[in-house]
Structure 1
Amino acid sequence: MKTIKLAVALSALLLSPLSSADSNTEALQLAVDHPSRTAANAERDKYRNPAATLAFFDVTPNSTVVEISPGGGWYTEILAPLLAAHGTLYAAHFPADSTSDYYKRSRAGFVEKLAANPVFSRVQLTEFAPTNSNTIAPAGSADVVLTFRNLHNWYNQGGEDALLNSFKQFYSALKPGGVLGVVEHRLPEDKMVGDWIKSGYFPEKLTVKLAQQAGFVLEAQSDINANPKDSADHPGGVWSLPPVLRLKEQDREKYLAIGESDRMTLKFRKPMAK
């Protein structure tokens, strides 16, 4: 019953006399508060700031959105109800023919999640891999492409070439004028020594350089997901912090007090066609 009421509320907002900005803000908050969200995921909102983050990336209930590598569906739980009535959501997960056991389990769990609740019934499952060319969405169809905390994984698979190939796939899927939203664990410039990639953090300047090489323009940067408590030099890398807490009981209270990682939040735009 709560799910139906919220769906009705989301639809009503789009027909209300509120300004577009006010309407979108309320719609985003309704999606964040949707009863289908798991409690453990909602607990992370204080670190991940989903309503403000999606607003910064120009996501509205009418958007066509591609979520890249959605994992267990943390953001899918918000995007699916937000876009259910008037938008479109493509979830570009691991390829079905992957030989990785982890990828297979992750995709299977996501598929099971989509089938378990009608709120996900309109999610369109596609595929993404940083070292291949996949159809994450029809070319030129998306208003927004989103990636959350994935760049370090793609870089591990193929270095700058893999990341550049990824950005080119996003560029192809976007409409002219469309937005690429990137959130990633931020590596401080003074930490770019040794085997920094194993830390799970990623350099902001390298992100911008490769996105620009793919054709994007950096439009804005935000501190929405910044965390000045995070020194980015933990013995277990970024996974020392919650929610993973890789070191288990070792310095547990210290890492809980820090919270989740310091993150860059970058908004790129695909230029309008000339």
Structure 2
Amino acid sequence: MRNRLHTLAKTGIALSLLCALAAPTVLAKDAISEAANSSIRADKERLRDEYRNPQQTLRFFGIKPSMTVVEISPGGGWYSNILAPLLNNDGKLYAAHFHITENTNDYFKKSRNAFEEKVKSQAEYKNVEITSFHPTDALDVAPAGSADAVLTFRNVHNWYMRQGEEGVLNAFKAFNKALKSGGVLGVVEHRLPEGADDEMQKKSGYMKESYVVKLAEKAGFKLVESSDINANPLDTANHPKGVWTLPPRLALDDQDKAKYLAIGESDRMTLKFVKS
């Protein structure tokens, strides 16, 4: 009888431990779902979820509500409108927005100003701090060693097209500096087939996965996992106006619109690195 009670007690303890270990994951998933359904997200933003898969992507990167996260170049705040409420109570979000100088064009200035107004006016943004990022001129995206995760969504091609390999490498080094030891770099980027001409990276908006991995590793990261969460096998990455031919941009306007709507948004790599 004593042995049986001892066994039951051990089993109970084991089950309690398992539940305790599982609880944070369950809570994180619930928190991500809740944030993705936040009222600050407009209906037109939610329409993109079909292609951008924000909940699955954030779970893949291991984002939790208590983390300190840096989002690179948040633009109008498509992902910020999920990350801000997710991190609002127990975490912190650094929004590394456009670096503004007297020579900055009006589009970047207006985008940053609008984002600053959002931070000032919306309660969900109370734990958001705006910093600046530019691949050569503004590299302190967060205090050194402070971040649990740095996330960049569809930005690598911009650095490459404007600043070349130096820009990409500088960016990844800056993210490494901001991260804690073992911190996560999450990258989502338009994917160019490995057999395509390298020259296409200069103008198409697509990047080769092998190239992105090589530069991240050179900056001190280790690739730990990749995912096809944001893959689109219908996308050939060969379009008249590059990735901008596809939705949501539809750069050809009504020309072959039905064709490109049927393809949907671009094929994307989703890569999880850790600071080594």
Normalised TM-score (structure 1): 0.90
Residues 131 and 157 of structure 1 are in contact (CA less than 8 Å); yes or no, is this contact kept in structure 2?
no
Q: Identify the match of residue 67 of structure 2 among 59, 63, 84.
A: 63
Deviations 1:92-144 (A, max 9, x none): 00113252212212211221222332211221000110012432111000000
For 1:149, the equivalent position in structure 2 comes to: 154
Residues 132 and 138 of structure 2 are in contact (CA less than 8 Å); yes or no, is this contact kept in structure 1?
no
Distance in 1, matches of 2:150 and 2:251, equals 30
Residues 216 and 270 of structure 1 are in contact (CA less than 8 Å); yes or no, is this contact kept in structure 2?
yes
Q: Identify the match of residue 219 of structure 1 among 220, 224, 231.
A: 224
Q: For residues 83-122 of structure 1, what are the structure 2 equivalents within 5 Å? A: 83-97=87-101, 99-101=103-105, 102-122=107-127
* Paired residue secondary structure (1:199): coil
In structure 1, runs of 5+ residues without a counterpart are 1-15
Residues 180 and 268 of structure 1 are in contact (CA less than 8 Å); yes or no, is this contact kept in structure 2?
yes
Distance in 2, matches of 1:138 and 1:196, equals 32
**Pairwise CA RMSD of aligned residues?**
1.4
For 1:76, the equivalent position in structure 2 comes to: 80
| Range 129-138 or range 94-103, more displaced | 94-103
Residues 174 and 270 of structure 1 are in contact (CA less than 8 Å); yes or no, is this contact kept in structure 2?
yes
Deviations 1:149-181 (A, max 9, x none): 000000112111111010000000000010000
Deviations 1:17-56 (A, max 9, x none): 7611111111100000111111111110010000110011
Q: Highest Rg: 1 or 2?
A: 2
**Amino acid in the other structure paired with 2:251:** R
For 2:170, the equivalent position in structure 1 comes to: 165
> Percent identity between the aligned chains?
55
In structure 2, runs of 5+ residues without a counterpart are 1-18
**Amino acid in the other structure paired with 1:91:** A
Q: How many correspondences in the alignment?
A: 256
Normalised TM-score (structure 2): 0.89
Distance in 2, matches of 1:32 and 1:239, equals 25
Residues 161 and 201 of structure 2 are in contact (CA less than 8 Å); yes or no, is this contact kept in structure 1?
no
Residues 230 and 270 of structure 2 are in contact (CA less than 8 Å); yes or no, is this contact kept in structure 1?
yes
2:63 maps to 1:42:
no
Deviation at 1:197, TM superposition (A): 2.0
| Range 170-179 or range 91-100, more displaced | 91-100
Residues 243 and 266 of structure 2 are in contact (CA less than 8 Å); yes or no, is this contact kept in structure 1?
yes
Instruction: Flag the 1:115–1:67 CA change in 2: closer, same or farther, 3 A.
Output: same
Distance in 1, matches of 2:42 and 2:253, equals 23
Deviation at 1:259, TM superposition (A): 0.6
